[in-house]
Structure formats: C-alpha cells, structure tokens
Chain A
Amino acid sequence: MIAETGLAALWLAAGLAALQFLLMILALRSGAEVARAMRSIALVQGVLTLVAFVMLLVVFARSDMSVALVFENSSVVKPFIYKVAGAWGNHEGSMLMWVTILAVAGAFLAVLAHRTGERTLLAALGAQALLALGFYAFLLFASNPFARLWPPPPDGQGLNPLLQDPGLAFHPPTLYLGYVGLSVAFSLAVGALLTGEVDSRLGRAMRPWVLGAWLLLTLGITAGSYWAYYELGWGGYWFWDPVENASLMPWLAATALLHSINVLAARGALKAWTMMLAVIAFSMSMVGTFLVRSGILTSVHAFAIDPERGTFLLALLAIYVGAAFVLFAVRGANLKEGAPFELVSRESGLVINNLFLTVILGVVFVGTLYPLFAEAVSGEKMSVGTPYFNAVAGPLALLLAALVGVGPLLAWRRERRPVLKKLTVPALLGATALAITIILAPQIHILPRLGFAVAAYLAAASILPLIGRNPLRAPLATWGMVVAHFGIAVALTGMAANSAFTTERLAIANPGDVLSVGPWQVQLESVTPAAGKNWTAIQAQLRATRGSGIVTLAPQMRYFSDPPMETNESAIASFWNGQLYTVVGRQDVSGAWQLRLWWKPFVTLIWAGGGLIALGGALALFGRIWMLFRRRSRAAEWRTERYA
C-alpha cells in the first residue's frame, strides 16, 4: 500500500499543478479572484509530492523488494543510511526528488513571497506549475518509481559501491536543491516578463532564491571535486569532463545572475539582461541534467544513462526554454533601460563582471558541445579537453579575479574618489608575489605564476570594503561578499600551487624500497590482504618521513564482487602545507608493486577556498533574510500601533 499511496499522491499533485496553471491563465486574463486559491493549491501540491517522496524513502528503508526500483538499486544487507540514500541514487528516484524539491519550492514561493506584485507572483506560480507538470508527466508516463514486481524477489541487485560513500549520497540532493532554486528565479522572470513588472522589487524577491541556489551549487561542486580527487585516485581535482562542465555551467550563470540582480534590485536597471540570465541559469541546469542523463557525451562520471529518457528531457528543455525565449523576444521590446552607467561606478563594474562570467560560460559551453557540432557538420571527430579549457578559460578567469578586487570599492551611480589609490597595498603585494615566484621558482608556467600574483593581490583587495569603517557594523551581506571574494584568492592559491609545485612519483617497488617524492621519503613496508563487508583488498603499508615527522599510510586496491569491479582507495595524509597522496596498483610479474605517490603543496586550499565562497553566500543569505524579517516585524508593529 505504501508504494500505491506514493503513486496516488503523485497523480493528485500533477492534477493540482495542471489546475494551478489553468488558474494562472484565468488570473492574468480577467484578474479573477483566484489568488488565494492558487497559493493554497501550490501549498497542497508541495505537501503531496513530499508525501510521495517520503513513501519512496519508506519502501527503500524497509527494503520492499516488491517495488522494482528497490529491487534494482538496493539489497537487504546494506547500512541503513545507504538504503535510504539508494532512493535517489537512480534515475526514477532522483527525478522524484527533483520534482519534490520543485513543488516544495513552489509552495514556499506561494507562502513567503510578498515582495513582487501580486500579478507577477501568480504568473510565476503558474510558470512553476508548468515546470512541475512536465516532470510529473515524465515520472508518471516514462519513469514510474513505484512500479511493482511480482513475485517479490528475496533480495535486490545492490547499489554501486562507489555510491556507498557519504559524500556521494548527499552530493546529488545538494545540486538538485541548487538547480531548483534557479527554477524559482526562472519562474519569477517568466512571470515578470508576462506582466511587465520587471523592477527592483522583482530583483529583491529573486535575490534570496538565487543566493541560496548559488550557495548550494558552490557546495555541490566543491564537494564533488574533492570526492573525485580522493575517490578516483588520479590525483586530479578537475578534469574538464563533460559532466563536470555540466555542473559548472549553471554555477557560472548563477554567479553572473547573483551580481546582475544587485543592479536590478538597487537601481532597477539591467532589466532585460537579468531576465535573460535567470532563464539561462535554469536552462543550464536542464542542459546539464540532459547531458548527464542522455549519455551523449563520453564521460568518466556517467550517471543513470538512458538515451530515451534523454529525449524526454530534451523535449522539456526545448519547450520551457523555447517558451521563455519567445516571451523574451516578444515582451523584451517593452523593457526600458535608463541612462547609461558612468564608467567608474558599481553598475559598470558589475556589467564587466557579467561580461567576463558570460564569456567564460560561453567558452565552457562551446568547448563541451563543439565536438558534437563539428561531427554533425563535417563528420570529423575531435576532442576538446583540459589543454583547451585551461588555455582559454584560465586567462579570462585571472582577469576577472583581478577585477574582483576593484568592483566592490566603487560607489553606485558615480565613483568620485580616487579608488586606484586604495589598491596600492594589494597591487604591491601582487607584484611582490610575482617577483618572489620569478626568483625562487623560475621554471614554473606563466598561468600559475600569474595565479600567485593575482591571489596575493586579491587576498588583500577583497578585505578593503571592511577597512575604514567599523567592521562589526558592516551589513552581513557585505561580510558575505568579502568572505566569498577572499575565498576566490584562497582557491586560486591552491590551484596555482598544485599546478606549479606538485611532484609525482611512479614506481614499481618491492617491500623495503624507499622512494622520494617532494620533501618525503616513502618506504613500502609490506603489502597485506584486507577485507570488508562486500570487498577484499590488498593493502600497502607505507611509512613516510619528512625531517623528523613520520606518518603511515595504507592505500588499498579493492575488489568488489557484487557487482564485480576493482577500485583504488587512495590514502592521503594532510598537513598544513599540503597533502601526501598515495595509490597502490597491481603486482608485477616479479612480485613488485606499482606505486603512485604525489606531494601536492597547499592543494587543500582549493576546497577551503570553495568552502569560504559558500560561507560568504551563506552569510549574505542570512543577512538578507534577517533584514527581511526585521522589516516585516517592524511593519507589523507599525500596523498594530496604527490600528490598535
């Protein structure tokens, strides 16, 4: 009965979404008194999808093998947490999770948003209902998560061992929350284009959603990158793989939107562009999902690939994004922009920020999809990988990072103070860093060298907005910006250090052999068998010494039987100034073992920087919400006083 309850809830929610969409048309046509009804419907729809999702969690938690999805993706002897996480570790479950978050976000929008005009909110709720409707149809007609099996098999087929990792169990939900946050921005943009109310109120209503989505995407990408780093055993943190690019593109669009929305909220300007970005940001989430699910691009992290479902997703993408672009083309003519911005102003700084972010987004998009275009046109196959992206996106990102130091110092409308003078100290720091790398490390490449210089400059420049005022009285949003921008400098340092100073040692070693990598002497002490619940392994005992410091590491090569596969479990020792990364491979005919060792100075700064960027987002979000509540309670006090 549990699965059937879930399915029934899903059908009801789909019906309500259809009703919600129809009411929107009615409301926009006649201004009928349906507003309250729409809000309630959105709320009930959210609750119903939540019920369906909880039912799915329950059948997974109870290992109900009569549900086909549970049989295919779970087994009775699995830690409880992975039983539950198995619910979204597959196509159907992840789509249900997606639509649940979408509907719940719609419910929140209906209940919380009071800042846009009523008509725009109704239009946005209608758009959100239409979005959800497509995914309900997808679930109910093409990927029913509650389908039954008869007779119920005694045990399931198991979950991919790679996914039995806390990092990966919670990676997808983080990204979906981010994507769906962008869907609210999309719906609000569509709603505002429909009603023509593109103004600073819309910007302020959209901002918390974009901020929250961006914060979650930042966390998702940072965690995903670290996961790939320690789990894949290649010592790399970013491979410019199509799936990674698919997650980077919505983030880049959301970052641009996050900045342009400030111009809309503060000045009521950049209307058309911000609406465009809101549409693009969500489109990129859908493009990303499509690329990952359809499997049309070769990737190392393919997930739940099925070309037929890819077709369905592509159709949804074409309908939603196409409709939004048509709306933009038709209604965009009515969007008026005010006078041009002064060159030296916060507005212009944000425009240039958006220019660079969009060009980087364009480059990643073109690089990811160009092989497909080239093959369609000329039949010739080609590959676009790390060398291209680093060469093209690297310099653009460095230029942008250099500008990040300037933008926040500029005043709105027109900056009359000599801003460049404030940047003397940061510029000197950057120049010093450049000189130091030239003297101490003349052999390193130009990009990491410039990376160090820009990072040193930006680390100092990013905190300038807090200098010359009482930092404790600065708004939380300002603190958020400073922390996030400082995080860029931190991450940049890690990337430059990893690229410039990583040392790698590959060797075939016998027990007793000592290998040197960077400042470390690593001795292979022994290789012994090891075993876990569903795997066996060979485990190398390594003893690493640096000066008087000693650490032991035990990398493994694991053999899983069900399903059969071999994985390398790297062993990593972290220090304040870097990580020692070790991997053991196969045995040679002579009985010696293959070892891969890396010393990666300051590599952890990459993810620390990512964490700081996300923390900045969290501070800003908290600050905005705090202000919202304060304002609302003040307004309430004012009302009670007045009407008392």
Chain B
Amino acid sequence: MKRWVPAFAGMTMILCSPVLADSNLPPSYWSNRQLPDARQEAQAQALMEQIRCLVCQGQSIADSDAELAGDMRDLVRRRIAAGEKPSAIRAWLIDRYGSWISYKPTAEPAAWPLWLAPIALLLAGAWLIRRRIRLKGR
C-alpha cells in the first residue's frame, strides 16, 4: 500500500516503481470490495495472493496498490462470482502472461526441479548420513 516515486541517492526502497501517472478514473468496483459470498471471497483472495503484480513486481495483486492490480482483482472477483473456477482463471492469466504471472510454479517440465528439490535433497541427505547412524541394534 505504499508508493515510492523517485529513487534517490544512497538508499532506495522501491516498493513499487510507477513509471506512469495514475488515471483519473476511480478504482474498478470490485478492486477494493469483498464479494458478498464469503466462500467465493475466500477463493478469490487465495487466487489473488498467487498472482504476481505486473507493476509492483515484488508483490501479489492482493497486496499491490497499482491500478492494474486493482483491475486484476476486479477481474478475478467478477469471474469467481460468475462461477468460474480459480484454477481456470489462473490458467487464463498464464495463457496471456506466461508462468511468470503465477507465484505458484506451474506443473510444466520447467518447474519440475522445484518440486523435486525437497525430495532430492532429503534423499541426498539420507545417503550422506547412511553410515553415520547405526540402524540395527547390537
């Protein structure tokens, strides 16, 4: 919810770097309102936390104060309210922006190493300690 305009010498703390000014239109209706149905709102919130903001690239659209993030929240809430599944909305966004848009890695081969990493690390660790611990009693 912060907006930092210029980067200045020495220290910069860029929470969001708006290159352009904001529009004169008010935020879209569903960008800062909750859906009346609590279950749908929870679905929307969970999805919004997974979608990376295109403007403030270190934040999800749930946290970002950028207008485009607001419009994306509006899009997510409208589609959820219309009965669309969160996974379908996420796939629709990935179709347009690539897997970059999703903070949750996709199931594509390029992301497999990420999901295999914990298993591989556990196995490698177990292999390293295999002779360090005596498994059978005396």
- Across-interface contacts of B34 in A (CB, < 8 A): 504-507
Given contacts A300-B15, A380-B98, contact A355 B10 (CB under 8 A): no
- Across-interface contacts of B63 in A (CB, < 8 A): 234, 236, 239
Instruction: Assess the B132–A340 pair: CB atoms within 8 A.
Output: yes
What are 20 of the A-B contact pairs (CB < 8 Å)? A157-B8, A162-B13, A232-B1, A340-B131, A341-B133, A341-B134, A351-B129, A359-B125, A362-B117, A363-B121, A366-B114, A370-B114, A380-B99, A382-B111, A384-B105, A386-B103, A387-B104, A392-B115, A507-B33, A588-B26
A566 to B22, CA, bound (A): 14
A343 to B131, CA, bound (A): 11
A588 to B27, CA, bound (A): 8
A396 interface residue (CB < 8 Å to B): yes
A399-443: contact bitstring with B at CB < 8 Å (1 yes, 0 no)?
A: 000000000000000000000000000000000000000000000
Interface of A: prevailing SS = mixed
Stretch at the interface among A129-137, A301-309, A540-548, A635-643: A301-309
Instruction: Assess the A73–B11 pair: CB atoms within 8 A.
Output: yes
Size of chain A's interface in residues, with CB distance under 8 A?
74
- Across-interface contacts of A241 in B (CB, < 8 A): 58
Apart from A73-B10, A162-B13, A339-B134, 5 more pairs, CB < 8 Å? A304-B12, A362-B118, A363-B121, A374-B110, A583-B1
The chain A residue with its CB closest to the CB of B59 is A300
Closest CB in chain B relative to A395 CB, distance in Å: 9
* A-B pairs with lowest CB-CB distance, top 3: A385-B103, A387-B104, A300-B58
Instruction: Assess the A504–B32 pair: CB atoms within 8 A.
Output: no
Closest CB in chain A relative to B6 CB, distance in Å: 6
B47-91: contact bitstring with A at CB < 8 Å (1 yes, 0 no)?
A: 001101000111110010100000000000000000000000000
Contacting A at CB under 8 A, from B111-138, are: 111, 113-115, 117-118, 121-122, 125-126, 129, 131-135, 137
Instruction: Assess the A362–B121 pair: CB atoms within 8 A.
Output: yes
Instruction: Assess the B11–A358 pair: CB atoms within 8 A.
Output: no
Interface of B: prevailing SS = loop
- Across-interface contacts of A340 in B (CB, < 8 A): 131-134
A589 interface residue (CB < 8 Å to B): yes
- Across-interface contacts of A392 in B (CB, < 8 A): 115, 117-118
B4 interface residue (CB < 8 Å to A): yes
Instruction: Assess the A388–B103 pair: CB atoms within 8 A.
Output: yes
A157 to B7, CA, bound (A): 12
Instruction: Assess the B98–A563 pair: CB atoms within 8 A.
Output: no
- Across-interface contacts of A585 in B (CB, < 8 A): 1, 32, 65
A157 to B122, CA, bound (A): 51
- Across-interface contacts of A358 in B (CB, < 8 A): 121, 125
Instruction: Assess the B9–A305 pair: CB atoms within 8 A.
Output: no
Instruction: Assess the A568–B58 pair: CB atoms within 8 A.
Output: no
- Specify which of A89, A339, A355, A568 is in contact with B11 (CB 8 Å cutoff): A89
A565 interface residue (CB < 8 Å to B): yes
A173 interface residue (CB < 8 Å to B): no
A552 interface residue (CB < 8 Å to B): no
A383 interface residue (CB < 8 Å to B): yes
Instruction: Assess the A233–B122 pair: CB atoms within 8 A.
Output: no
Instruction: Assess the B10–A387 pair: CB atoms within 8 A.
Output: no
Instruction: Assess the A370–B118 pair: CB atoms within 8 A.
Output: no
Closest CB in chain B relative to A637 CB, distance in Å: 41
Given contacts A233-B1, A343-B135, A370-B114, contact A304 B10 (CB under 8 A): yes
